[in-house]
């Protein structure tokens, strides 16, 4: 995609429809951006934040209560049984991991592709990634029968001389998910350093304005905290040079990481020999699905956020539209994958495989399958229409559908494949219990608590990067080289 800076004098010569919307509307000065974003962190939180936080916190506590019950009682409190030994826990794990993919994808892949529109959304998306991975990480942990021994999955030397078994995709998962979490955290943190410095400096400037002792103390504590985490950043160009290089390298590492993580998650299924799981298309299909669901979740979070914090000029409709296009593209890939699975099941001539797919669509879980198809394949096709890509409330609704559909996709894969496999004698049926359902609901509480804390205490938009893509950031602007920075195909 190419982007053209919209200079007034150029505009007159360019057909209107070819003119790109600027990434920050209304030609705002740099200081305005700082004020706008850092202001959220410094200001008092609105009432809705407190309400939302309280609710989220309670929901999160419910989640922990159910997890406590699970650990004290046994995995049997879930609806699992013998053909279906993995249920909601694994569905939720894959679901959250999938959501966690948009963040790093937006940050890393779009960075490598020089998609400058990423700057307004990458911070939030990365935060979402980290929180989603936290939510995801809970499930494989608690789903094991003896959670207190889960550390046996780590390759630690021990007096038993026994090691983990590295042929297991679950162990790959351990490495992939923990690496993904760590690298995402590093990547996110690295991006935060200059912005934390911004807040540190603003606190420094505002220290004099503090009147009461309490305010002064808070200012001081915050200065220390933001100071420590900003690592003494002074915006030096010699630092920027290494910083940008490191950021580029991290992006370069994160991109294959993103692709590998969901590929490895898909190996949990693809490496098995279960009809419906044993499918070579899974890695790309899962990655596309992850991107799809991740962007869905980014939109779900960002549309209310930009309205609530009045960030429409930074997170513009153009940003939303571009994300809708990604959703449409990945949704189509996912739809293709669904079709391809069926085709191969038929063409491959394995009756077990064919039955597994027939059973998905027309077996006892037909409803899950058709919810998945409607939400994942049909609903994103609405984005062919410009109106639907540019109407935030509508996008919001579709993004919710995408989230639902992607959850059901994992449900369909995990449960319908397991419940009827090779021997009809062991066929069964799985339905979740209260504990299954409310634990999953509870993770949304955890997610929202983390997210609300994030918007409360950290700049939710990458200030320095947004500044970097404004027209006035172009050092050649006054020398007439307007197009050099923003324009051109990279």
Find the binding residues for another protein in span 237-256 (CB under 8 A): 237-246, 249-250, 253-254, 256
Asked if residues 442 and 91 have their Cβ atoms less than 8 Å apart, the reply is no
Identity of the residue, 177 or 449, whose beta carbon is nearer to another protein in the bound complex: 177
**13 contacts another protein (rule: CB under 8 A):** no
**114 contacts another protein (rule: CB under 8 A):** no
Which pair of tokens denotes residue 324?
Answer: 């809708």
What's the distance, CA 164 to chain centroid? Answer: 30
Q: Which of 111, 63, 52, 113 is nearest to 88 (CA)?
A: 63
Which of these ranges, 1-9, 63-71, 129-137, 445-453, lies near another protein under the rule CB under 8 A? 63-71
Sign of the CA dihedral 287, 292, 293, 295?
A: positive
Which of these ranges, 16-24, 41-49, 197-205, 296-304, lies near another protein under the rule CB under 8 A? 197-205
Which pair of tokens denotes residue 465?
Answer: 């990067």
Name which position in 364, 384, 441, 490 contacts another protein (CB under 8 A): 364
User: Please, which of residues 79-108 interact with another protein by CB under 8 A?
Assistant: 79-86
Q: What's the min distance (Å) between Cβ of 127 and another protein? A: 18
Identity of the residue, 59 or 89, whose beta carbon is nearer to another protein in the bound complex: 89
- 231: region left, alpha or beta (phi > 0 left; psi from -120 to 50 alpha): left
Identity of the residue, 148 or 393, whose beta carbon is nearer to another protein in the bound complex: 148
CA distance 450 to 127: 9
**205 contacts another protein (rule: CB under 8 A):** yes
User: Please, which of residues 283-342 interact with another protein by CB under 8 A?
Assistant: none
Identity of the residue, 146 or 456, whose beta carbon is nearer to another protein in the bound complex: 146
Asked if residues 187 and 217 have their Cβ atoms less than 8 Å apart, the reply is no
User: Please, which of residues 208-237 interact with another protein by CB under 8 A?
Assistant: 220, 223-224, 227-228, 231-237
CA distance 150 to 459: 36
DSSP string, 25-92: GGG--HHHHHHHHHHHHHSPPPHHHHHHHHHHHHHHHHHHHHHHHHHHH-GGGSS--SS----HHHHH
Which pair of tokens denotes residue 6?
Answer: 């919209």
Q: What's the min distance (Å) between Cβ of 2 and another protein? A: 17
Binding letters toward another protein, positions 425-464, x by CB under 8 A: xxxxx-x-xxx-x-------------------------xx
Q: What's the min distance (Å) between Cβ of 21 and another protein? A: 21
CA distance 281 to 271: 12
CA distance 281 to 270: 8
Identity of the residue, 72 or 214, whose beta carbon is nearer to another protein in the bound complex: 72
User: Please, which of residues 17-56 interact with another protein by CB under 8 A?
Assistant: 29-31, 34
**64 contacts another protein (rule: CB under 8 A):** no
Q: What's the min distance (Å) between Cβ of 227 and another protein? A: 6
User: Please, which of residues 399-428 interact with another protein by CB under 8 A?
Assistant: 418, 420-428
Q: What's the min distance (Å) between Cβ of 75 and another protein? A: 5
DSSP 8-state secondary structure symbol assigned to residue 22: P
CA distance 127 to 125: 5
Count of residues interacting with another protein (CB under 8 A) = 145
Asked if residues 459 and 114 have their Cβ atoms less than 8 Å apart, the reply is no
Asked if residues 389 and 325 have their Cβ atoms less than 8 Å apart, the reply is yes
Identity of the residue, 306 or 419, whose beta carbon is nearer to another protein in the bound complex: 419
User: Please, which of residues 133-172 interact with another protein by CB under 8 A?
Assistant: 143-147, 149-150, 152-153, 155, 157-172
Q: What's the min distance (Å) between Cβ of 78 and another protein? A: 8
Q: Which of 18, 325, 255, 322 is nearest to 113 (CA)?
A: 255
User: Please, which of residues 259-288 interact with another protein by CB under 8 A?
Assistant: 260, 264, 267-268, 271-274
**472 contacts another protein (rule: CB under 8 A):** yes
Question: Half-sphere exposure of residue 364, counting CA atoms within 13 Å on the CB side?
Answer: 11
What b-and-e string marks burial along 426-447, b requiring 16 or more CB atoms within 10 Å of the CB? eeeebebeebbeebbebbbbbb
Identity of the residue, 398 or 462, whose beta carbon is nearer to another protein in the bound complex: 462
Q: What's the min distance (Å) between Cβ of 209 and another protein? A: 13
- 212: region left, alpha or beta (phi > 0 left; psi from -120 to 50 alpha): beta
Which pair of tokens denotes residue 298?
Answer: 């980014």
Q: What's the min distance (Å) between Cβ of 333 and another protein? A: 23
**363 contacts another protein (rule: CB under 8 A):** yes
User: Please, which of residues 173-192 interact with another protein by CB under 8 A?
Assistant: 174-176, 179, 182-183, 186-187, 190
Q: What's the min distance (Å) between Cβ of 330 and another protein? A: 23
Q: What's the min distance (Å) between Cβ of 340 and another protein? A: 15
Identity of the residue, 16 or 82, whose beta carbon is nearer to another protein in the bound complex: 82
Asked if residues 5 and 485 have their Cβ atoms less than 8 Å apart, the reply is yes
Which of these ranges, 195-203, 305-313, 375-383, 398-406, lies near another protein under the rule CB under 8 A? 195-203
**490 contacts another protein (rule: CB under 8 A):** no
């Amino acid at each position: 995609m190419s982007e053209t800076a919209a200079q007034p004098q150029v505009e007159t010569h360019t057909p209107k429809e070819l003119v790109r919307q600027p990434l920050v509307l209304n030609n705002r000065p740099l200081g305005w951006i700082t004020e706008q974003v850092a202001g959220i962190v410094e200001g008092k939180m609105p009432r809705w934040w407190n309400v939302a936080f309280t609710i989220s916190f309670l929901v999160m506590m419910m989640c922990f209560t159910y997890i406590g019950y699970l650990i004290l009682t046994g995995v049997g409190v879930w609806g699992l049984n013998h053909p279906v030994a993995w249920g909601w826990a694994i569905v939720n794990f894959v679901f959250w991991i999938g959501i966690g993919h948009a963040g790093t994808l937006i940050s890393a892949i779009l960075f490598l592709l020089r998609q400058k529109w990423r700057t307004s959304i990458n911070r939030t998306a990365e935060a979402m990634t980290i929180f989603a991975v936290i939510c995801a990480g809970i499930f494989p942990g608690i789903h094991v029968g003896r959670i207190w021994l889960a550390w046996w999955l780590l390759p630690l030397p021990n007096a038993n001389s026994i090691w983990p078994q590295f042929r297991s995709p679950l162990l790959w998962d351990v490495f992939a998910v923990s690496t993904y979490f760590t690298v995402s955290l590093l990547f996110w943190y690295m991006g935060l350093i200059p912005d934390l410095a911004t807040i540190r400096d603003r606190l420094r400037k505002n220290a004099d304005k503090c009147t009461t002792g309490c305010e002064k103390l808070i200012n001081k504590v915050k200065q220390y905290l933001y100071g420590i985490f900003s690592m003494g950043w002074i915006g030096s160009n010699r630092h920027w040079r290494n910083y940008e290089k490191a950021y580029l390298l991290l992006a370069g590492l994160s991109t294959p990481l993103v692709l590998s993580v969901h590929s490895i998650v898909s190996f949990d299924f693809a490496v098995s020999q279960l009809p419906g799981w044993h499918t070579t298309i899974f890695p790309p299909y899962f990655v596309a699905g992850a991107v799809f669901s991740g962007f869905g979740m980014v939109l779900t979070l960002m549309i209310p956020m930009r309205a609530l914090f009045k960030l429409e000029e930074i997170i513009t409709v153009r940003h939303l539209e571009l994300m809708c296009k990604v959703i449409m593209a990945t949704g189509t890939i996912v739809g293709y994958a669904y079709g391809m699975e069926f085709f191969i099941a038929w063409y491959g001539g394995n009756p077990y495989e064919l039955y597994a797919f027939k059973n998905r669509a027309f077996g006892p879980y037909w409803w899950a399958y058709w919810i998945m198809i409607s939400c994942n394949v049909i609903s994103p096709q609405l984005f062919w229409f410009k109106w639907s890509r540019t109407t935030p409330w509508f996008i919001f609704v579709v993004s919710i559908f995408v989230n639902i559909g992607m959850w059901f996709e994992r449900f369909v894969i995990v449960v319908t494949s397991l419940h009827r496999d090779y021997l009809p004698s062991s066929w069964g049926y799985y339905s979740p219990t209260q504990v299954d359902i409310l634990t999953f609901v509870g993770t949304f509480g955890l997610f929202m608590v983390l997210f609300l804390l994030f918007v409360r205490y950290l700049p939710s938009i990458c200030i320095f990067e947004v500044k970097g893509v404004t027209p006035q950031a172009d050092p050649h602007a006054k020398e007439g080289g307007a197009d050099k920075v923003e324009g051109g195909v990279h």
